[in-house]
Amino acid sequence: MSDRLKAGLWVQAQLRVCDINFISAMVIRKGDADSGSILLKINRFKEGCAVFVPITTMDGAHGWMHGLKGGYVDERDCDAYIQRQMDRDPDLWVLEIEDPKNQYELDGELVQ
């Protein structure tokens, strides 16, 4: 049995975390509730946007990496990347978090 959280449940949990902390979050695309992949878009407005992709770290833990080189970039670049991924994967979830105050914390290590 896998200890991996189902995509739909993880997204619901993150929406709740954001709600509790007064951080704006919205599902941009709803994927397969059980086995869909997830992209996390964080919009920091003046600082730009970043897309995070879930990974498994070398020690088997849940982690994240930047989907785009350069980390925080122009929002149009993030949206184009997300659109390419949606075109490839019909089960993909996309969660956008608007976080101008840099309050949101990833639930795993950010691997560079």
pLDDT computed for residue 27 by the predictor: 98
What are the angstrom distances between the C-alpha of 67 and each of 1, 40, 44, 51? 29, 9, 16, 5
CA angle 14, 25, 53 (to 5 degrees): 60
pTM, rounded to two decimals: 0.91
- Look at residue 3 in the predicted model and tell me its pLDDT: 59
Task: Classify domain 7-100 at the CATH superfamily level.
Answer: Protein of unknown function (DUF1491) (3.40.1530.20)
Taking 70 as the threshold, does the pLDDT of residue 2 lie above it?
Answer: no
Look at residue 95 in the predicted model and tell me its pLDDT.
98
Q: CA-to-CA distance for 5 and 73, rounded, in angstroms?
A: 29
Question: Domain limits of the chain?
Answer: 7-100
Q: Which pLDDT does position 6 carry in this prediction?
A: 92
Cα–Cα dist 16/22, whole Å? 10
Average pLDDT of the residues in 89-103 = 96
96 neighbors 41 (Cβ within 8 angstroms): yes
Burial of 66 (0-12, 13-18, 19+ CB in 10 A): middle
Q: How far is CA 69 from CA 4, 13, 42, 66, in A?
A: 27, 28, 15, 7
Q: Is the pLDDT of residue 1 over 80?
A: no
- Each residue of 32-74: pLDDT tens digit? 999 889 999 999 999 999 999 999 989 989 999 999 988 899 9
Confidence (pLDDT) at 70: 80
